[in-house]
Amino acid sequence: MAWRIAEVARMSGVTARTLRHYSEIGLLRPAWIGLNGHRYYEEGELLRLQQILVLRELGLGLREIGGILSKQADQLESLRAHHQRLVEERKRLDILTRTVARTIAELQRAKEDNTMPNINRPENLFEGFNPSEDSFGDEVRETWPELTEASQRLAASMTPEEIEQGQRERTAQMIRLAELMVAGTPADDPAVLVEVAAQYRAMAQVHVMGAEEFAAIGEACVADERWRAAYEQIAAGLAEYQRDAIVAYADTRLA
């Protein structure tokens, strides 16, 4: 049996544009293309797409996924290995869920008492985070491939300790923004723009961008599902707050 690309997109949740991109880079080609130009996928391609999506959920980039799939000899054994990694990831996410729940509870308490959050053990803020996980979602990879590749090259040159420290700093920035948001600080307030300036400097180490491109990164904080989910895990509304802050910074400091 064969399915057209639109049917595969509907079943899998992967856009037709992404499926065509997978075909262009040799990651997932259709089983055949009809005389009408329609792409058709059979069972083998659906199973391969499942593996791609599993590996994406585990944080691997497309280049890594292609390497893994090209080397696998036994599909069943590969799926068993992927399943084990998913079990481990579920354990990590359980820990991360508890971490974020503690942060939310403290931010809520501080909001109700009109006080600053009290973090007795800062290391608890970072339980469950995976410093080596690819932080770029689909929209960001497709829109800024050069940014993604440059970031991956930089990460490859860093020690595990440096990667972990960078992840801690990014998470701490997100939490500081959440504190400012909960306190009712406008997104274009100087205190917020200080945080965004630090974000911009960190990104500029990988890829220098102008006002329009940086503002587009801000929009991706809401449009990209993975980025939005990361912000919303910290505090509801944080993705939009981060976007507004980045746009304000781009308009006032980079324009």
Would you state the pLDDT for residue 185?
A: 92
Segment 211-242, tens digit of pLDDT: 888 888 888 888 877 788 778 877 888 999 99
Would you state the pLDDT for residue 141?
A: 57
**pLDDT confidence bin for 143, thresholds 50/70/90:** low
Q: How far apart are the C-alpha atoms of 30 and 22, rounded to whole Å?
A: 10
**pLDDT confidence bin for 122, thresholds 50/70/90:** very low
Segment 62-105, tens digit of pLDDT: 887 888 788 776 767 767 776 777 777 677 667 767 766 766 77
What kind of fold does domain 76-254 have according to CATH?
A: Globin-like (1.10.490)
Answer whether residue 34 shows pLDDT above 70: yes
What kind of fold does domain 3-72 have according to CATH?
A: Multidrug-efflux Transporter Regulator; Chain: A; Domain 2 (1.10.1660)
Long-range pairs for 26-32: beta carbons < 8 A, 24 or more residues apart: 26/66, 27/52, 27/62, 27/65, 27/66, 27/69, 28/52, 30/5, 31/2, 32/2
Q: What pTM was computed for the model?
A: 0.49
Average pLDDT over residues 44-63: 82
**Domain segments of the chain as ranges:** 3-72, 76-254
In contact, 188 and 212? CB cutoff 8 Å: no
Return phi, psi of residue 40, to 5°.
-125, 140
Segment 157-177, tens digit of pLDDT: 667 667 667 777 787 788 888
Average pLDDT over residues 4-28: 91
**pLDDT confidence bin for 151, thresholds 50/70/90:** low
Cα–Cα separations (whole angstroms), residue 131 to 26, 75, 100, 164:
29, 29, 16, 5
**Highest mean pLDDT (candidates 114-128, 149-163, 221-235):** 221-235
Cα–Cα separations (whole angstroms), residue 38 to 5, 13, 48, 118:
7, 19, 19, 58
Residue among 208, 220, 207 nearest 247 (CA): 220
Answer whether residue 37 shows pLDDT above 80: yes
Give every CB contact of residue 242 below 8 A, 6+ residues apart in sequence: 174, 177, 218, 221, 231
Would you state the pLDDT for residue 131?
A: 41
Would you state the pLDDT for residue 186?
A: 94
Which residues face 41 on adjacent strands?
3
Percentage of residues in the chain with pLDDT exceeding 90? 22
